[in-house]
Structure 1
């Protein structure tokens, strides 16, 4: 089945974007209707983060989350298999792209919006720097090989496994490679700290502050938005006075700024993830 799915994505790549997005809309409808456990996760996340939102509007937002998730998934067809000129035309870099000039150690804060793969592809294709991304191995070896090839189709980027260790990651930063980091997920209690996210204590890995300090790197946020024409990959100015000596305050600031970007496009955030699965002692479960 995985091989058939990959073949479908290859065949879909050259089709007009309107067709790909229409198929994504249909797939999103199916996922919303059929994947009931994940729909409950999205519903719980939105209820926790937007308690004042009218229930009918919140359910409409749940539906749109599935649509955007599915559309972004099918977009990987042309992002990973489309002609380079087509990819460049649909992935539009905007904002403070000059932040990547030179060889200064740089850490990209790339939140989990549905366009996260589009953002990585745009940067590795269009910005002449060496890029490193942390990669989680897929359980299916066929899918794993496909994802690796897709994400690293352009020579500027290279994968880095979680098992490879922190020391080599820090060394790559100091050598001038740009690290693409997505730290805004719940990876369990072992290395997380509890900081606010939409007013709830959320287990958050403080890796952004930690890597910035160890690598002597500046932090440049990159926010990717799904648009009718493809994706806008917006590079924001480097954060000033970051990191500080207070790793908890740094991580809370990361979440606070993330909230502002989510508020601008709430249907494009990765709400299918159990962001609040780890709770502080004595706190009731969210799911």
Structure 2
């Protein structure tokens, strides 16, 4: 594991365009190999983009494998790049929306796009960020990840196993919560609302925490470009949350879908987003 970290450190010295080229090569090779992830990606794209010709969906999946590998190779920037280099690699579009909320509790709603970890570190250079992470089984790796996420002293992290109370308390204390709400965590504590027209188990955490902390929700996403990323912060959601958790979840999914359609190859298509099904519906991934 330490050898792998050393390799990532070496990669951090490469220019962004070199990482892009290396990612294209490795990602193309991985896409060409049969795998469960490739089958999952095909299922997701077929469900979400049924009107797109199959050959075009396959080209999109290829681009997505490339983008995912590029993201992995870029972890050296997350772990070792200086604040000045991070700012050059990822300028922020719409920072004025965050600045306008000084003194307010804020949830930065970040879907699963490639570049999301780099984006979280980048925004922590502008404001104190609260985030949630999954504990790693390897104690050394877990400590390493925690240290790298907090290396600028501008963030607070809680494990998913700690529950929501510490996170909510930090949000109420003025931390800006960097929250990823768009994966399938099971039917419990979720509602089924459309995502690309497919009922998807969707957590209601954004709505509930925004209500409890009187927080403003700012949708955001990273956009990968030729020479780096742009972190896009959109205007705050108006009249959100409401008292209707299902309506709020549907609105949230609509926002994420609109973001994904702007850069389809950069959204995470390789996880089982539709694993949980409403009663009586078949398992889309049964043959994986």
> TM-score, normalization: structure 2?
0.95
Q: How does 1:113-152 map onto structure 2 within 5 Å?
A: 113-125=113-125, 127=126, 129-152=127-150
- C-alpha distance in structure 2 between counterparts of 1:131 and 1:191, whole Å: 25
Q: Distance in 2 between matches of 1:146 and 1:93?
A: 27
- Note if contact 1:106-1:220 (Cα within 8 Å) is conserved in structure 2: yes
Query: 1:260-284, CA deviations, whole angstroms, 9 ceiling, x for partnerless residues?
Result: 1111100000111100011111112
Aligned mate of 1:247, from 238, 245, 248: 245
* Secondary structure of the corresponding residue to residue 73 of structure 1: helix
State the match for 1:110 in structure 2: 110
Partner of 1:40: 39
Deviation at 1:33, TM superposition (A): 2.6
Please, what TM-score do these two structures have when normalized by structure 1? Answer: 0.95
Computed over aligned residues only, the root mean square deviation of the Cα atoms, in angstroms, reads 1.4
**Corresponding position of 1:7:** 6
Query: Which position in structure 2 is the counterpart of 1:170?
Result: 168
1:264 and 1:45 mapped to 2: Cα distance? Answer: 17
Show structure 1 runs of 5+ residues with no match: none
Which residue is 1:60 aligned to? 59
CA distance, structure 2, for counterparts of residue 188 and residue 142 of structure 1: 29
Q: Deviations over 1:166-209 (max 9, x none)?
A: 22222211111110000100011222111111111101111110
Separation (CA, whole Å) in 2 of partners of 1:97 and 1:229: 23
Question: Are 2:278 and 1:274 equivalent residues in the alignment?
Answer: no
The range that moved more, 70-79 or 43-52, is: 70-79
Instruction: Please say if residues 21 and 71 of structure 1, whose CA atoms lie closer than 8 Å, have aligned partners that are also in contact.
Output: yes
CA contact (8 A) 1:111 1:258 kept: yes
Q: Structure 2: how far apart are the matches of 1:162 and 1:58?
A: 34
Gaps of 5+ in 2: none
Distance 1:24 1:146 in 2: 24
Aligned residues: 284
Match of 2:189 among 188, 191, 200: 191
Residue of structure 2 equivalent to 1:19 = 18
Indicate the residue corresponding to 2:154 in structure 1: 156
